[in-house]
Amino acid sequence: MSVASDRPVSLHHAARVLFRARQPNANQVEQVARLMKSGALPADCRANRERWTTTEAALADFMANSQLTRQATATGAGEELRPVYRGILRDYFLAVMLRRRLAGRSVAFRRAVVAGQAVVFLLLFGLAGGSALKIRSRVTSPPERQAVEAWIAERTDAYAVERWAPTQRAPGSGGLLVEAAYRYRKDSPRWVHTQRRFLVAGQAVTELVEEDD
C-alpha cells in the first residue's frame, strides 16, 4: 500500500496529529515548533510561525521513526527489519491522515481506506511475529545449531531454516555433524533452496562437501 503525500500540514495541525488532540495546548504546539526548527521534523520555517508547514509524508516518516525507536528500546530488537517496519508504519500513518482528511467522502471509499489500514497492520504484526519466532529459535536452539545459523547469516542477505536433521557426533573428533535444509537470498531477490552438512567444534563451523565425508 502506498499513499505518499506532499500535502502541506500546518504547525497547529501537526500538533493535533502528533498529540492526538483536537485542540493542542500551547506547550504541545511549542514542542512541535522545536521539532520543526531543529530539523527533526522536516518543515518550511521561512515564514512566521503561524505559517510554518511540514508535509503528510514527512509527518508520517517522523511518527514511524519515533515508533520504531520506542519499540527497539522496549524490546531490544535489532536493525535488520527496521527499513521494512518503517515503510509499513509510514504507510499506516499516512492512511490514518488520509482517512481523517477524506472523512466526508463516500462510505465505499472510507471502507477501502480502512481495509488498506487493516492490511498494513496484518503485515506489520506478521513480520513482527516472524522476527520474534526467529529470535526465539536462535535463543532456545542447541549451541551447535546457533553456530550454524550464525555461519549462514554471515554469508547471506536473508535466510530461513526449514528443517534440521538429528545432530550426530563426528567420528574420530570432538565435533558434531549438523545438517540443515534452508533457503537463502544473496545479491538477488530469488530464494535458493539448499541442504548442507557442517562440522561444528565449539563455535567453529566448517561446511562439509562430499569429498570431506
Give 208's strand partners.
Answer: 197
Confidence of residue 165 (pLDDT cuts 50, 70, 90): very high
Give 182's strand partners.
Answer: 161, 194
Q: What is the mean pLDDT of residues 185-212?
A: 87
Do residues 148 and 35 touch, judged by C-beta distance below 8 A?
Answer: no
Which residues 6+ apart lie within 8 Å of 112 measured at CB? Answer: none
Of residues 7 and 172, the one with the higher pLDDT is: 7
What does the alpha-carbon distance between residue 92 and residue 148 come to, in Å, rounded to a whole number? 37
Which residues 6+ apart lie within 8 Å of 102 measured at CB? Answer: 109, 110, 113
Q: Convert the pLDDT of each residue in 58-73 to its tens digit.
A: 998 898 888 777 666 5
Do residues 176 and 197 touch, judged by C-beta distance below 8 A?
Answer: no
| pLDDT for 47 | 85
Confidence of residue 90 (pLDDT cuts 50, 70, 90): confident
Please spell the DSSP secondary structure of 14-29, one letter per residue: HHHHHHT-SS--HHHH
What does the alpha-carbon distance between residue 11 and residue 44 come to, in Å, rounded to a whole number? 10
Instruction: Write the single-letter amino acid at 119.
Output: V
| pLDDT for 82 | 62
| pLDDT for 25 | 92
Residues in the chain: 213
